[in-house]
Amino acid sequence: MQPRKPSIVVVGGGVTGAAIARELTRYRVSVTVVEREDDLARGASGACGGVIHSGFDPAPGTLKASLNVIGNSLYPKLADELGFAYRRTGTLILAFDPDGVTRLEEIRGRAARNGVELETWTRDRVIALEPNANPGVLQAVFAPSAGAVFPPEVVLALARSAALNGARFELETEVTGIAVNRGAVAGVETTRGFIPADIVVNAAGVDAAAVAAAAGDHTFSVRPRKGQQVILDKRYGSIVARHIMTLPTRMGKGIGVAPTVGGNIHLGSTAEDGVEPHDVTTTSAGLDWIFENAKKLVPCIERDWMIASFAGVRAISDTDDFIVRESPAVERLFNVAGIQSPGLSAAPAIASHLVGVMVKAGVPLEPEPGFRAFLDPPIVTSRMSTSEWARLVAGDPSFGRIVCRCEGVTEGEIVRAIEGPLGARSIEGVKRRTRAGMGRCQGGFCGPRVAAILSRRLGVPLWKVRRRGAGSELGVGPAKCCLRGGVGAR
């Protein structure tokens, strides 16, 4: 008889948890991911700019530096396997004064130690290749290996791949306690019951310290650092071709102007300490700061170009480095904590590094020969050639019915996003899977139509369709409910 497969619970469905879940399904283990929200990537992973950093910035010798550089190198292959959009844009760091030029020198030194290739660009080269960059630039360095992804797409693809390989995902399931038996984890208490586990991976982002503490591990702390961000209309999507940023500061990477894979421009982020762990509010001071500083990089940027603003909360560990280790306090509890920027870039490397840590800790990990690395390519009509699309419509006419006009998303794509594995349960869920509602009208036209499709496919009344999680229903009841009494009446 074969020994029972170790059961592993991963707490947290962000990019870290999803990458770990997928990596673990390469081995003969049973994996369950628990996520408090109704969808994956609802924390910092889903609220970041999507830059795959090259790795010149983290302090040499840190885990952050090595995993960033390795993670960056894994992305092209991962994008190929999982079918998410990935584009190599490169990062261009501009210096505007002699002090800045000196600091570029420091960056070159750090990059060399981290093993990141950098080019030095003269002012003329910057202006020739990025004509909208501030002409006051003195010198710049360019990191060609930086790229761009759409973060929720990456997380969902990782999770779907994990699910395809047997991982289970329990959404709207909040961890309320970690059961510890004779110094080792025994399972996870959740709002939906107890899940026994031989191993718990704590990838709970900004709540990782609280999850560890629930098991009696008080060996680290995590501090929230808010980042507000802005998305600009696609019409201005070509103002820069590369991710352009200021010199990094102690608080973070400084402000960046980044082309996204969706064709927009992302501006951000602020770095605000002293906030509540789940404070994702935007402030007028934050948005002012973003525009003021983004205009220093690319002066033509106008506030009118904004189509969306949002905030995410980074998880900063007390060492400022990533924590990827077995808990010193509780056996078989693996903490993956303090995964702030460049967490998205590092995630694939964090996952494989964790496997190494587990093996060293004596976890028996046998390779699973049936692991399937590839996902079926997604159907994205806006990325198709005319003839490919025509063939698709001939087979299924719903792929010819455009629902979201700004992003060109069809009914067929929306239905697939709802019915596929880890399907969308809300309007936001559809948006993150298909881009429907992500364009310049921000769902003004397509929102009600997407809601109608969700209502039909999920079998819930239209007014109960959610924008995001519980409590975000589209309406309060059917029309006339406020007049008639009954559902929705005061």
Partner 1 sequence: MRRSRADVVVIGAGPAGLAAASAAREVGARRVVVLERDERAGGILPQCVHTGFGLRRYGRDLAGPEYAGLELARALKSGAEVRLDCCALRLEPGGGVRRPNAVVAVSPAGLEEIRAPSVVLAMGCRERPAGSLGIPGSRVAGVMTAGTAQRLINIAGIMPGRKAVVLGSGDVGLIVARRLALEGATVAGVFEAVAWAGGLPRNVSQCLCDFGIPLFLGHTVAEVHGRARLEGVTVCEVGRDMRPVRSTAREIACDTLLLSVGLIPENELSREAGVPISPATGGPLVDECGASLTPGVYACGNAVYVHDFVDDVTTEGEIAGAAAARFALGESGDRRRDGCKMFFREGRNVRFVSPAFVRLGRGRAWPSLALRSRRPAANVTPVFRWEGGQCSGPDLEFVNPGETIRLNLPVEVRGLIESDTRRDVTVEVSLESQ
Interface with partner 1 includes 390 (CB under 8 A)? yes
| Stretch touching partner 1 by CB under 8 A, among 16-24, 109-117, 163-171, 389-397 | 389-397
| Stretch touching partner 1 by CB under 8 A, among 16-24, 67-75, 98-106, 400-408 | 400-408
In whole angstroms, how close is the CB of 281 to partner 1 at the nearest point? Answer: 5
Residue number, 166 or 475, with CB nearest to partner 1:
475
448 preceded by a cis bond (ω within 30 of 0): no
CA-CA distance, 245 to 46, in Å (whole number)?
A: 21
Interface with partner 1 includes 471 (CB under 8 A)? yes
In whole angstroms, how close is the CB of 209 to partner 1 at the nearest point? Answer: 22
Interface with partner 1 includes 401 (CB under 8 A)? yes
Q: In the window 216-245, what residues touch partner 1 (CB under 8 A)?
A: 230-231, 235
- CB-count burial class (<10 Å; 0-12, 13-18, 19+) for 408: middle
Among 115, 144, 237, 475, binds partner 1 (CB under 8 A): 475
CA dihedral 41→45→47→48, nearest 10 degrees, is -150
| Stretch touching partner 1 by CB under 8 A, among 86-94, 187-195, 238-246, 481-489 | 481-489
In whole angstroms, how close is the CB of 334 to partner 1 at the nearest point? Answer: 31
Residue number, 355 or 380, with CB nearest to partner 1:
380
Residue number, 338 or 437, with CB nearest to partner 1:
437
Among 127, 129, 210, 462, binds partner 1 (CB under 8 A): 462
| Contact assessment for residue 95 and residue 247, using Cβ atoms and an 8 Å cutoff | yes
| Contact assessment for residue 348 and residue 67, using Cβ atoms and an 8 Å cutoff | no
- Greatest C-alpha distance within the chain: 72
CA-CA distance, 228 to 283, in Å (whole number)?
A: 8
Give the residue carrying structure tokens 């009509």.
381
Interface with partner 1 includes 452 (CB under 8 A)? yes
Among 237, 408, 420, 460, binds partner 1 (CB under 8 A): 408
Q: In the window 159-188, what residues touch partner 1 (CB under 8 A)?
A: none
The single-letter DSSP state of residue 2 is P
Retrieve residue 444's tokens.
Answer: 């003004």
Residue number, 59 or 476, with CB nearest to partner 1:
476
Query: Which alpha helices (DSSP H) does 376-475 contain, by range?
Result: 386-395, 411-419, 427-434, 446-458
| Stretch touching partner 1 by CB under 8 A, among 109-117, 321-329, 334-342, 381-389 | 381-389
Residue number, 3 or 395, with CB nearest to partner 1:
395
Retrieve residue 457's tokens.
Answer: 């496919």
Active-site position among 53, 243, 266, 353 = 53
Backbone angle region of 261, left / alpha / beta, with phi > 0 → left and psi within -120 to 50 → alpha: alpha
Q: In the window 276-335, what residues touch partner 1 (CB under 8 A)?
A: 280-284, 286-287, 303-304, 306-310
In whole angstroms, how close is the CB of 485 to partner 1 at the nearest point? Answer: 10
Q: For residue 64, give the nearest of 328, 344, 254 by alpha carbon.
A: 344
Residue number, 183 or 478, with CB nearest to partner 1:
478
| Stretch touching partner 1 by CB under 8 A, among 2-10, 16-24, 316-324, 466-474 | 466-474
- CB-count burial class (<10 Å; 0-12, 13-18, 19+) for 336: buried
Element at 167 (helix H, strand E): none
The single-letter DSSP state of residue 231 is E
Q: Give the count of beta carbons closer than 10 Å to the beta carbon of residue 60.
A: 13
In whole angstroms, how close is the CB of 398 to partner 1 at the nearest point? Answer: 7
The verdict on whether 243 is a catalytic residue reads no
Long-range contacts from 192-196, C-beta under 8 angstroms, 24+ separation: 195/9, 195/32, 195/34, 195/170, 196/7
Residue number, 136 or 397, with CB nearest to partner 1:
397
In whole angstroms, how close is the CB of 268 to partner 1 at the nearest point? Answer: 13
Residue number, 210 or 481, with CB nearest to partner 1:
481
Question: How many residues bind partner 1, per CB under 8 A?
Answer: 63
Q: What is residue 39's three-state secondary structure?
A: coil
Binding pattern to partner 1, positions 411-450, x when CB under 8 A?
-----------------------------xxxxxx-xx--
Q: For residue 39, give the nearest of 188, 159, 148 by alpha carbon.
A: 159
Q: For residue 293, give the nearest of 256, 259, 258, 260 by alpha carbon.
A: 256
Give the residue carrying structure tokens 């109960």.
464
Residue number, 106 or 302, with CB nearest to partner 1:
302
Interface with partner 1 includes 275 (CB under 8 A)? no
CA-CA distance, 20 to 31, in Å (whole number)?
A: 10
Binding site for partner 1 (CB under 8 A): 230-231, 235, 280-284, 286-287, 303-304, 306-310, 386-387, 389-390, 393-394, 397-398, 400-402, 405-406, 408, 440-445, 447-448, 451-452, 462-463, 466-483, 488, 490
Q: Tell me which residues are annotated as active site.
A: 53
